[in-house]
Structure 1
Amino acid sequence: MGAQALSKNVLSSFNISGFLSWWGQGLLCCLPSGVRQLFWHETTRLVLEPQGKGVRLHRERGESKEDLGFYNGIERGDERFEGKDKVLVFRLSPEQTLSKPITLPLAAEENLRQVLGFEMERHTPFATNQVYYDFEVIKRSLEAHHLIVRLVVVPRRILDEWLERLSHWGLQPAIVDVMGTGPGRINLLPDEKRSSRSKALPRINMALSLLLMVFTGAALLFPLWQERSVVIDLMSKVSAAQEKAEAVIAIRQRLEKAIEASEFLVEEKEQYPSAVEFLYELTRILPDGIWLQQLDFTRGKIKVRGEATEASALIPILEASPYFQDVQFRSPVTTNARTGRDRFYITAQLPKLESLPL
């Protein structure tokens, strides 16, 4: 069961789409630029960054970035905005937004936007109707059953003011993101202002190239899938061997503890006089007329209970012997009305053998 669960977690945590995307981009980078254009058309992103009452323009295409200067809407029909396949991006600064990582249960991923809307007031100083927000999943943990999400919010008044200004200039951004976030990860543009047409390029060669990458990836993964049963079988055998090894280790630890306990008891017993020795000493020093009802000896301490003609005289008698130390009554002395004797309960500490006279 452990091997199957591990295999399931590994397969479920393997992001096939992300792997194919990375692998496909690596293949495209190896092709000449002319051939690469047949399979992939890089979209030009025209980025508007707020600067005073206007915006700073940048043209981004792949890894390249070009500064196009300042624009404040005075000159309409600016040639910098002309051309096909340009995506207009309005980019906010981090000071205009709030970004916060949030940990949520893994089950919340199915309705992540709704869950973040409900949690908005708990994690930000704003209500849901006061902000535009978006998110990106940073990490998924199958073992801990949670995921970490980066929540990005912008007050509506800030974004609405800029969108109204851009609309007055005849500009309608398709994406609103934040400096420092990767392209395509965050889009704070309200849903009602987004274009209904897809931003993906609907080209046959693009579809064919993706299909080719899927088939190639499947061909690479199929041998691994065939070896899956072998790996699971080996993992189950390793797990069984590990359980046996752990059982042997546990037995060895219990045996070592039992040996240590027995050695401790033997050492403890050898430190004090034997029961025969202190019984002999008691019979030697106690006067006649003493009746012992109970005698306990535990770890160097004795407890004596009985009756005597004069119980108070027993304390100095026992203290005079080198075999008894710290002699004292455990309870008050009482008188037996039937016999007239004193009832006593005395405790004393036995000294260790090394302190006794030879």
Structure 2
Amino acid sequence: MTLSTGMMPATIRPAATAVQTIGAALLDSFVATLRPLIARFSTSVSHVVVIAPDGLMLHSLRKDCLGPPLHLADDVRAPEAFHAGAVQLRLPPEVFLMRSLRLPDAGRSYLQPIIAHRLERLTPWRADHVLYAYSVVEGVSEDGTIGVDLLATSVDLVAPFLARLAGAGLTATALGSAAEPLDAPLRFDLYKGRTQAADGRLRARIGRGFAILLGGLATTCLFSAIVAASATSDAEDVQQRLSALRTKLALRGGSGTSRERALIEGKRVDTAAIVLIDKLSHALPDDTVLRELDIEPTRIRLVGRSVDAPALIARLEVDAGLKNPRFAAPVIRDADKRDAFDLVAIRGDVPDAAR
């Protein structure tokens, strides 16, 4: 996937270029990580080419099963069957330089930059002319170091062999030593991590997959936004209908002041008790505790304790609207200097005809 920045405004072109660069780097890294997994589980045939004194020896390799060798003279094109699939080029062992290193185990995650920094001291070639691969030996020694085997060569030494391979119409995707078993995966692959010709196709496929995935996610988000907007519109429509219905009910109920409506609500059976309890909570002082509260259709009974029980009579008449409040039993003052009372009264929120 390539983004064209030619038609973009100059203000956002640097940001778009940075996003494109980062995206391409991430895609390349993903392809490099995915390539070995594809090769491991692939059922396609790969090929092993060994350099011979008088030409090339070609082998087909399928699931670690090595086919019979096919001798190919120099500058003779390989059969078409060898042009499909990965190609391992195995060079003579004398082309390579082998080194065994001891490095701190704490730097295991940074072996690549550590070895790259030491290449000119470990090999007789310039660092930018070195092809190398390394393998970590299992186990950690008592001094906290690990063994690392390094296999290296020079691009100048490899170039003639690559030219002979190119003369056969083949391109190496892996480079190693012929000293390793031909039917086993390379322990030292000097081309590991390099961009290969097949990576372009794999990169394009992954890019298309990501584009389809992002397109699907964008479509899903757009559909979700449309559904949410439709639900919001429906909710607003329902709310408008409810408001219109409330208005009609209010008009049908007749006009009147808010005080008149409050009085009417207080006379209704389903709200009268709630209104009465609310009045009692305001009438009773904080030093009064109720143990019983019996609300009957026409009367009410309160049993509890208070610092000054006689003072409750006036408060219940004025603040709670009760009529004829009186004590049903003598007030008893306990050791805590609190009055235990049993008080009854007639409800003031019911019509006189109901009493």
TM bucket by the smaller chain? 0.3 to 0.5
Q: Which protein is bigger by CA-based radius of gyration?
A: 2
Q: TM-score, normalising length from structure 1?
A: 0.39
